[in-house]
Structure formats: C-alpha cells, structure tokens
Amino acid sequence: EAIYREMDPPKKLVMESSVPGPGGKPFFKILQTITLEDNGNETGLVFEAKVLQANPGSEPFLGGMKQGTNGTLDNLVAYLEKR
C-alpha cells in the first residue's frame, strides 16, 4: 500500500508505503522521497528512504529493501510512460 504525500512535478515525489501483516497491522512503514535533478542532457535521481515504524516480523521485508526500491522505481517509470 502506498500513500502519495507530496507531488511536485517534475522535481519531487514523496510517498509513504507499508507492508500489511497478520491482523492488518503493518510489518513496517517507510517514507520514500524521490528527487529529480536537471543535469543538462541527463536527469539525476536522488532516492531517500526512512523507516517510520518497524514491528516484529519486519526483518525479512526490510532486508529486501533494495529489491523493493527497484520495484518502486519500475512502477514510477510505468506511471510516467502512461502520461
């Protein structure tokens, strides 16, 4: 689940994500900020992630954060291609 907290096209996207656990309580909540920078012929991307809450059982999910981040960026590319 993701909630978009801030959108400042084409510069910044801030979203809060969580992974639901048993009984509906999230394993963890994380705040992700993507900032795009104009570097002439290229666009730079700065990605920041902050764990807001980590509950018991969250360790495997947080251990896979890199894979999840790559999936999030793939979703962003798909979203932008639709626009």
Q: What is the pLDDT of residues 3-61, one digit of tens each?
A: 999 999 989 999 999 888 888 888 899 999 999 999 998 888 899 999 999 988 888 88
Cα 47 to Cα 35: distance, rounded to the nearest angstrom: 7
pLDDT band at 1 (very low <50, low <70, confident <90, very high): confident
Q: How many CB atoms neighbour CB 5 within 10 A?
A: 12
Distances (CA, A) of 16 to 13, 23, 38, 41, 64: 10, 20, 25, 30, 17
pLDDT at 36: 93
CA distances to 2, 32, 37, 45 from 17, rounded to whole Å, are 4, 8, 23, 19
The reported pTM is 0.71
